[in-house]
A and B are shown apart, each in its own frame.
Chain A
Amino acid sequence: MSATRNASRWLPGHAIAVFGFLYLPIVTLLVYSFNGTGVGGFPPRNFTLDWYRMLFSDGPIWDSVVNSLIVALVAVVIALTFGIPAALALDRADFPGKTLFRRLVLLPLILPGIITGLSLLMLFREAAVRLSLVTIVLGHGTALISVATTEVFAGLQKLDRAQEEASLDLGANYWQTFWRITIPNLRLSIIGAALLIFTLSMDEIAVSFFLIGRDNTLPLEIWGRLRRGITPEINAISSIIFVFSLVAIVSWYRLRVRAEGTAEVAAELMEAVVQGN
């Protein structure tokens, strides 16, 4: 069994190295947000909260935060409004072009954001729609229907149809059954999807890059500043974003485990996208 012993010796070492690689930039970011002498320079010195103070009195940043929050909330509503029926349709209806429809819905997950962004830019140009936060919302909402659909579809596979059948037999109409039986049974998947969509929208930049009007979202505001020169103020806002993403992701994970008993749906989702199952 020497190979097992060898493997069990180098595998943990490899795992530690990979985690080191994954977390090095995040740790650097956090540490240097308190660094008095700028974004680089080793060792960090002159511990300070000045960058956070500067950040909190920075008007344009907070405007962009508000914009991003609004965009993310509306994107969640759009993605769920169309993603839940799309999952139901994939589960329960047969119609011509169903395969094309499924692939089309999932495509933004695997396609580089630039292609989705540019295609929508052309649509808005042809329709003479002025670029603004509205066009960004439409872009995010549309691209993230994929997430809502896959999460809810996964939830539907665990759903017992007998309850819906009973509801219909007992005289409830489809509308009542949908709101009183289907949705409550899917609530964990739906909340999980909403959290995920919200976080992804808050971070999204590739699609927004092409659809931006006068008002910036937070990632685009940061992007603009990166091009002008960098200060630890960007570390400070990034650290705050990190903490919020952390909370969102850990909650999502817990929900996922409660809904499915396992968190691997995200992994299977990605496999399904590539393999078109």
Chain B
Amino acid sequence: MFSRAYRVAITLPPLLWVTLFLLVPYLLLFCYSFWSVSPQQIIVHSWSLDNYRELLRVNVYLQTLFRSMWIAARVMFFALLLGYPLAYYLSFHAGKRRDLLYQLVIIPLWVSYLVRAYAWKTILGSDGVLNTLLEYVHLTKHPLEFLLYSPFAVVLTLTHIYTPFAFLPIYASLEHIPRNLVEASHDLGASPFQTFWRVIFPLSIPGILAGATFAFVLSLGDFLAPLLLGGPSGIMISNVVVSLFGAVYNWPLGAAISLSMLGLVLGLLFLSETLEKKWSIR
């Protein structure tokens, strides 16, 4: 029913915009990662694999990458641990309160990222709310120093930020489970635990995969929480990139790290998609 002219008119403008402002920039990132920077701080447009060799040669880059992945893995784990039972409760047990509780989960999702990271900083600091509370009730005599400027603070803050991200797709997948499957399982004599483990859980795996991917990928690339709360031991890979684009002024090396990160992210998305297809009933 739609003419060729109409289809061109709706396709061409967004296609051109997205090409110019998304595709070309990502390609530029790719190009930059093979260029270099001269001692006079001019970008040299000659092609080599030197940046990638540097990445593999200097330990600190790989170490920081692994630390970031370890932080992201912990965030993913805790986000699922908090998000899954909550989603399950809302979907199967919350009854009339479900709508209200759902709103309560998504509200923090849209509260400024920076505001929440800042709030944790005021809670965790050495004269912050938590430490002074502990002293007030005479549980500790001195501030607990590990609370702020540590990987702990980064994991805690990122878990706070990404738990709703993990919750949402899990909740959607639980809501998609036909309720008569659950009833059938009960009628055929399965215990509630068996029903959960053999019927509900397998059907919610696509949601878990999506939630886990979100939590892992978004915390992997984070650089603001580590800057604000991480201290020297909480530095993540994006912080290295930021300094390469700022004070250190080595854009090509920064681009090589970013591109490696992009490759990792796309690989995880592909993996998640493949696994999801395997587990999907659709």
Query: Across the interface, which residues of A come within 8 angstroms of B105, CB to CB?
Result: 22
Q: Are B17 and A145 in contact (CB under 8 A)?
A: yes
Q: Are B276 and A230 in contact (CB under 8 A)?
A: no
Contact partner of A274 (CB less than 8 A), chosen from B32, B113, B210, B261, is B210
Query: Across the interface, which residues of A come within 8 angstroms of B114, CB to CB?
Result: 203, 205, 219, 222-223, 226
Complex Cα–Cα for A164 and B6 (A)? 13
Q: Are B192 and A4 in contact (CB under 8 A)?
A: yes
Query: Across the interface, which residues of B come within 8 angstroms of A110, CB to CB?
Result: 213-214, 217-218, 265, 269
Complex Cα–Cα for A21 and B175 (A)? 24
- Knowing A88-B10, A104-B23, A271-B169 are in contact, say whether A82-B112 is a contact too (CB < 8 A): no
Q: Are B172 and A268 in contact (CB under 8 A)?
A: yes
- A203's nearest neighbour on chain B, judged by CB, is B112
Contact partner of A242 (CB less than 8 A), chosen from B115, B125, B213, B261, is B115
| Residue interface mask A109-121, B partner, CB < 8 A = 1 | 0111111101111
B199 at the interface (CB under 8 A from A): no
B50 at the interface (CB under 8 A from A): no
Query: Across the interface, which residues of B come within 8 angstroms of A4, CB to CB?
Result: 192
Query: Across the interface, which residues of B come within 8 angstroms of A89, CB to CB?
Result: 7, 10-11, 14-15
Q: Closest CB-CB distance, A164 to chain B, in whole Å? A: 8
B47 at the interface (CB under 8 A from A): no
Query: Across the interface, which residues of B come within 8 angstroms of A112, CB to CB?
Result: 217-218, 220-222, 238, 261, 265
Q: Are B115 and A29 in contact (CB under 8 A)?
A: yes
A128 at the interface (CB under 8 A from B): no
Query: Across the interface, which residues of A come within 8 angstroms of B18, CB to CB?
Result: 82, 86, 101, 104-105, 142, 145
Q: Are B21 and A85 in contact (CB under 8 A)?
A: no
- A262's nearest neighbour on chain B, judged by CB, is B175
- A residues 49-96 near B (Cβ < 8 Å) are 81-83, 85-86, 88-89, 92-93, 95
Complex Cα–Cα for A202 and B110 (A)? 11
- B residues 1-24 near A (Cβ < 8 Å) are 1-3, 5-7, 9-11, 13-15, 17-18, 21-24
- Knowing A112-B218, A122-B25 are in contact, say whether A19-B104 is a contact too (CB < 8 A): yes
Q: Are A28 and B106 in contact (CB under 8 A)?
A: no
A155 at the interface (CB under 8 A from B): no
Q: Are A248 and B191 in contact (CB under 8 A)?
A: no
Q: Closest CB-CB distance, A129 to chain B, in whole Å? A: 12
B242 at the interface (CB under 8 A from A): yes
Complex Cα–Cα for A41 and B24 (A)? 50
- B276's nearest neighbour on chain A, judged by CB, is A275
- A252's nearest neighbour on chain B, judged by CB, is B110
Q: How many residues of B contact A (CB 8 A)?
A: 104
- A121's nearest neighbour on chain B, judged by CB, is B245
B123 at the interface (CB under 8 A from A): yes
Q: Closest CB-CB distance, A147 to chain B, in whole Å? A: 12
Interface size class of A (residues with CB under 8 A): 35 or more
Query: Across the interface, which residues of A come within 8 angstroms of B214, CB to CB?
Result: 110, 270, 274
- Knowing A11-B89, A267-B169 are in contact, say whether A114-B258 is a contact too (CB < 8 A): yes
Query: Across the interface, which residues of B come within 8 angstroms of A122, CB to CB?
Result: 25, 28-29, 32, 251, 255
Q: Are A118 and B169 in contact (CB under 8 A)?
A: no
Q: Are A92 and B2 in contact (CB under 8 A)?
A: yes
Query: Across the interface, which residues of B come within 8 angstroms of A119, CB to CB?
Result: 22, 25-26, 28-29, 258
Q: Closest CB-CB distance, A148 to chain B, in whole Å? A: 10
- B168's nearest neighbour on chain A, judged by CB, is A267
Query: Across the interface, which residues of A come within 8 angstroms of B228, CB to CB?
Result: 226
Q: Are A270 and B221 in contact (CB under 8 A)?
A: no
Query: Across the interface, which residues of B come within 8 angstroms of A245, CB to CB?
Result: 107, 110-112
Query: Across the interface, which residues of B come within 8 angstroms of A275, CB to CB?
Result: 206, 209-210, 272-273, 276-277
Complex Cα–Cα for A88 and B104 (A)? 33
Q: Are A104 and B112 in contact (CB under 8 A)?
A: no
Complex Cα–Cα for A263 and B103 (A)? 9
A255 at the interface (CB under 8 A from B): no
- A residues 231-249 near B (Cβ < 8 Å) are 234-235, 238, 241-242, 245-246, 248-249
Q: Closest CB-CB distance, B2 to chain A, in whole Å? A: 5
22 contacts between A and B (CB under 8 A): A15-B86, A15-B94, A18-B82, A21-B82, A25-B160, A32-B129, A40-B128, A86-B18, A107-B22, A111-B221, A115-B265, A119-B29, A119-B258, A122-B255, A145-B14, A206-B224, A249-B107, A253-B106, A267-B169, A271-B169, A274-B269, A275-B209
Known: A42-B133, A149-B14, A264-B172. 17 other contacts (CB 8 A): A1-B192, A3-B192, A15-B86, A22-B104, A25-B116, A26-B108, A40-B132, A85-B13, A110-B269, A115-B29, A118-B254, A119-B22, A122-B28, A161-B1, A206-B223, A223-B224, A226-B114
